[in-house]
Amino acid sequence: MSQMIRVTLPDGSAREVVRGTTAAQIAADIGPGLAKAALAAKIDGELRDIMRPLEEDTNLSLVTSRDEADALELFRHDYAHVLAEAVQKLFPGTQITFGPSTGDGFYYDFAPTAEHGPFRDDELPLIEEEMRKIIAADLPLTREVWERDKLIAKWQAEGETFKAEWAAELPQGEELTVYRSGEGWMDMCRGPHLASTGKLDPAAFKLTRVSGAYWRGDQKNAQLSRIYGTGWLNKKQLNEHLVRLEEAAKRDHRKIGREMDLFHLQEEAHGSVFWHPKGYRIYRELEAYMRRAIDGSGYQEVKTPQVMDARQWEQSGHWGKYRANMFVIPDEVPNIEDEGPIVSDDAEWMALKPMNCPAHVLIFRQGMKSYRDLPLRMAEMGCCHRNEPHGALHGIMRVRQFTQDDGHIFCREDQIVEEVRDFCALLDRVYKQLGFEKYAVKLALRPDMRFGTEEMWDKAEAELREAVERAGMANDDYGWEELPGEGAFYAPKLEFHLTDAIGRTWQCGTIQSDRVMPERLDASYIGEDGERHRPVMLHRAILGTYERFIGILIEHFAGRFPTWLAPVQAVVATIVSDADAYARDAVAQLTAAGIRAESDVRNEKINYKVREHSLAKVPYLLVVGNREAEEGTVAIRTLGQDGQRIMPLAEAIAMLKGEATPPDLRS
């Protein structure tokens, strides 16, 4: 075997180096500045340790802090390892489990000793200080390959039962690697990592909270302590993030939901929303807007059953791949006697639907369909249930019962690209009318576990790619990106990620090109040749779910909804009781004009009323006293603005009517 290998750099130049040379050595040969800045290497596109020897001809690019996504991934992974090392130094006997990076930081799950019990938030400053000591020590992070049996034996000997279990379950033949910090502490990890702990900025991380977790996310397993942190490349980024967190806390939809009396959640219905009148008004306005959007785009709305036989879910493929997230129901009368099981062993099983698509195929199959009937666009405001773990629930953002703005387009092969392009145009209009000017488009490609042939996936991915190009969205303005391995098990999909007012992203819309389900559920149409053909099924949603999207809207607008969505659009507040009758008449006129208005004739000072309705995020406050009653005017205060304007009531009603009109109905 030759002792020399060829390394090709991004500029096309190539170097002949000795086999076993590291990327760090190549960076040093190029120049001292690059040697200092280089954090890791990309070998044929794969991120690797900069100190890992090169063994064959390769394409090499060096990762620096300018490659922010890769650099942040490395830093956060290393912060997690330093966290684990610090905890084990401070609290001997604590077992380590998993510690991944996250979208804005990292976490690590620990099994504390019985004597110590779960970790507490007040212990985080102590752990942070120990982490800074480890970073200051600038300990080398070195990769080692271990034999399976030896590694399992080591973990067992050291009382690391979780690591031993994990190592034992990794596939035979898979290389087991550990990373050692200095000469001692180590963790099992695929990597990559920075060259040493000193590459981290000790002022660019913060531990944020402690929560409970279960080993492998299963409530039947041991309970662990999860320590969360946020990690960045430098202190400036950390401070900017902490400011965003502070702003996000102010905008928390749960907090604003309570203040505005929009909804509540309680244990008697885990993961289901109790909508209050004001919250449900927002829901209804959004639903009405979406109905107008889909009606105008040629969709036919349907309604399908909540419960279907398990055999239907088996045929669709969901029973085998999705059953853990489904609520199953016995199809028999339950035992009502005191003794004996509630459900017999002979019970047939049904399930609450976690999604609407199989039922839409059953509607499509009713009656013979011709190629002339396609595309057939079917929509449903479909209530679904998914058995999410209690610990994963989050306000109305992640729930168990939700309603999707769901739709399925059954079309011919030659119609796919145009239908997807039209959907992109519809989604663009909806997002912008709802106040989201910026969003990213991403193509999620085939996962490892999937149905269908490679040819089928090639074709489906190419069609979605072409549709985005035709829609003019396959560019940096729309954050165009392809995501290998992130498609659904039955289809690739386009994802649409909104950016909210404080820069956070939310994946909401999606469209998926599916040839598998029509085959599995035997959907067909008669083609121009008189033969049966399979339609392609496009699964699409714009909002995703109403619950989550309303949560996003609450946080995006910080509760200050555009007037057309606000549950109460105007309040007429009196200064003196002599104006009560005028206030009530003004409310009647506002209501007649289609404006959601209320009166406030309480015996309170006007400053108190102004403050209270501002906290309730009412867009317009119309203040009236004796003078306004005599002149037929109102003093208008606009939420978020200083001062007031005096205008005739009729003029104010006309102005508010324009503001209260949904954007799609404005001329």
**Type of residue found at 650:** A
If DSSP states are collapsed to H, E and C, what string results for 396-417?
Answer: CCECCEEEEEEEEEEECHHHHH
- CA torsion sign for 408, 414, 420, 426 is negative
Phi/psi of residue 495, each to 5°? -115, 145
In sequence order, the 6+-apart residues with CB closer than 8 A to the CB of 386 are 325, 326, 354, 400, 402
With beta carbons less than 8 A apart as the criterion, state whether 243 and 506 touch. no
For residue 238, the SS3 value is helix
**Amino acid identity, position 626:** N
CA nearest to 81, candidates 203, 227, 222, 215: 227
Closest listed residue to residue 656, CA positions, set 631, 637, 632: 637
**Contact in structure between 231 and 79 (CB atoms under 8 Å):** yes
Sign of the CA dihedral with 453 first, then 459, 461, and 463 last: negative
Task: Look up residue 68 and give its two tokens.
Answer: 């922010």
Q: Which residues touch 295 (CB under 8 Å, ≥6 apart)? A: 301
3-state secondary structure 81-113: HHHHHHHHHHCCCCEECCCCECCCEEEEEEECC
Q: Cis peptide before 375, with omega less than 30 degrees from 0?
A: yes
- Residues β-bridged to residue 559: none
Is 61 within 8 Å of 35 (Cβ atoms)? Answer: no
Q: How far apart are CA 175 and CA 359, in angstroms?
A: 45
User: What six digits make up the tokens of 10?
Assistant: 């991004």
Q: Which residue matches tokens 């942190």?
A: 229
Cα gap 175→520, rounded to integer Å? 38
Within 13 Å of residue 337, how many CA atoms lie on the same side as its CB? 5
Query: Could you tell me the CA-to-CA distances from 13 to 3, 9, 37, 50 in Å, in that order?
Result: 20, 6, 20, 19
| Catalytically annotated residues | 357, 386, 404, 406, 408, 493, 539
